[in-house]
Each structure stands twice: as C-alpha cells, then as structure tokens.
Chains A and B, each alone.
Chain A
C-alpha cells in the first residue's frame, strides 16, 4: 500500500474543479466567493505536493509561494465580503443575476 504524487494531484484537481463549478454556477455572491476559496485551497495543495514529491534544488520555494497565496486569499476575502455587504446595503440583494446596474 502506498500513495504517490498522482493521488495528491488528483485530489487537488478534483477540488479545483469543484470550486470552479461552485464559483461559476452559484447565484449568491457569497457562494461564488466560497468557490474561489476552494480553488485557492486546491492550488495550495498542488503546490505543496510538487514541493514534497519532485526533485528541486530549493523545495522551500513551494512553501513560500503557498504563504503568499494564503496572504492574498485573506486580502481578497476581506475585500470581496465588504463589497457583498456594500452591495446588499444599496440593493438589498447579493444575487449576482440581479446586480445589473450597468445593463442598458
């Protein structure tokens, strides 16, 4: 019994595609944001898998990249949720189908 790089990469790929489906198909803006967070997590998992399993002169680079991805994800979540609250205050909805002020 053993698990290798392929197993981890496949879990990462499936998680990424789940996040993509959530981000593209949900009507609630907060649901869309949850899909984006899932995708970012899947990418982190893939980066750490490559850092652990492949030949590299500096395997710590993958870990450093993951730290930056987590940082940017936190900033993105804060701004996106503030946007959702702000839109809700003006339109009483967070439904992305009804955010259509720019539509003529």
Chain B
C-alpha cells in the first residue's frame, strides 16, 4: 500500500484505535470506558475502509457503533447500584503480563515471517460478498439467522423481570 495518503491514514487510525483501546483499560469510570470503546470501533471501521472492505466497514459502524455500544451503555445504566467503577481484580498483574508476553510473541512472529504478498488490491465489492454469502456460504448464513433469533429470544427470557414470569405462569 504505497503513497502518502494511505500511510498517513494508517498512522492516524492506528493512533486513534490503540490510544482509545488503552483508554478502555485505563479509565476509572465505566461510562468513559464505553466511550473509549466506541472510539476504538470507529478506528477499526476506518481500518476496514483502508483495507477496501467498504461493506464490512459500514456494517461495523451500524452494528458495533450503533447497536452493541448502545446495548453496553444500557447495561451500564440498568445496573445503577453496582457502581461505575472500572477497577481491576486481584489477577490484574498476571493478566497484563500475560497480554504483554502474548503481544511480544505475536509481534516477533509477524516481523519474522516472510509473507507472500499480492501487489494488486483484490477490490472486492458488496456484490461479490453477497454472491458468496448466498451461494458458497448459504448454510452458515441461515444458521447465523437461526442463532440470532435464538439469542434474541434467550436475551428477552433472561432479562425480563420475575413479576412478568409469575404472571405468565398464572395465565
């Protein structure tokens, strides 16, 4: 990926994504952590545009920035007496050292491997993705829709108040 434009875009997006990802880890207030998470999602969507995955970038904006972060905000606001604290448990040191060690291994492997690269951008369009989803991947596609329905019903069953369950049992 040559040229000044993609390079500058890459470094800006890398800064945005990794700084706000660090903000999720470091911010003490849970609501601030959710806002940093939204910024990270937007940065990742920018990377998808840079990787010429335009449809996936739009899906990322709509699903992650639009739906999942609102869901997380709802969950934070529906648990008011649990506190807004975003603190660490007793395993914090172990977890962070494990993550740092894993990152070191990943970066070593990535820089050490000689990747077989393509020169040209494959330039996939939403039409090709749609064709692939409804021909080659039609069975996983349908299973995914069944999974979404099951998750929707399960989430409603889990989250509804106990009084309603009692009313349903009487009816």
Contacts and interface: CB of A to CB of B under 8 A. Distances in A.
Partners in one complex: yes
Contacts of A7: 10, 14
Label chain A's interface by main secondary structure.
helix
21 contacts: A4-B1, A6-B115, A7-B14, A8-B47, A9-B110, A20-B98, A21-B95, A24-B91, A25-B88, A26-B86, A28-B85, A35-B24, A48-B48, A58-B136, A63-B56, A73-B68, A74-B151, A77-B71, A89-B162, A94-B79, A97-B90
Interface residues of B, number: 92
A11 B121 contact: no
A45 B49 CA distance: 11
A64 B51 CA distance: 15
Contact of B89 (A13, A27, A60, A79): A27
B71 to A, nearest CB: 5
**Secondary structure dominating the interface of B:** helix
Interface of A: 1-11, 13-22, 24-28, 30-31, 33-35, 37-38, 41-42, 44-45, 48-49, 51-56, 58-61, 63-64, 66-68, 70-79, 81-86, 88-89, 92-97
Contacts of A74: 63, 67-68, 148, 151
B22 A54 contact: no
Contact of A37 (B68, B81, B83, B99): B68
Contacts of B122: 51-52, 56, 59
A16 B105 CA distance: 12
B82 A28 contact: yes
Nearest to A33: B72
Greatest chain A CB density within 10 A among B30, B95, B158 is at: B158
A88 to B, nearest CB: 4
B82 A92 contact: yes
B140 A30 contact: no
B24 A22 contact: yes
Contact of A4 (B117, B128, B144): B117
Given A30-B75, A59-B122, A73-B68, A25 B91 contact: yes
Contacts of B154: 79, 82
